[in-house]
Amino acid sequence: MERSEIQNRVKSVIASVLEIDESTIGDDTNFIFDLGADSMQSLELVAAFEEEFDVEMDEDKALEVQTVSDAVGFIGTYLD
């Protein structure tokens, strides 16, 4: 899958889970610091990424991912 496609789908998932406008999400946007995601929402994001990309991620490592670009890279490792 192309990186740009992963990126678009990641942003779409984030916008849906955090109920925000997708256009406000940049590549370096931090889920917690910039979007105000709390610990529950972080778990929801991991679950939503797994569903969106049909992968099963290491939860501890997934929770360390905090930005869009990091998420794209991390999900990419499961799709290779």
Residues designated catalytic: 38
Nearer to another protein, 3 or 37 (CB): 37
Residue among 34, 44, 50, 52 that touches another protein (CB under 8 A): 34
Q: Does 45 bind another protein (CB under 8 A)?
A: no
Burial (0-12, 13-18, 19+ Cβ within 10 Å), 6: buried
Nearer to another protein, 33 or 79 (CB): 33
Contacts of 60 (CB under 8 A, 6+ apart): none
How far is residue 3 from each of residues 22, 27, 43, measured CA to CA in Å? 18, 12, 23
One residue of 32, 55, 73, 77 binding another protein per CB under 8 A:
32
Q: What is the dihedral of CA 24, 27, 33, 34, to 10 degrees?
A: -10
Is there binding between residue 12 and another protein (CB under 8 A)? no
Binding footprint of another protein on the chain (CB under 8 A): 18, 20, 30, 32-39, 64, 66
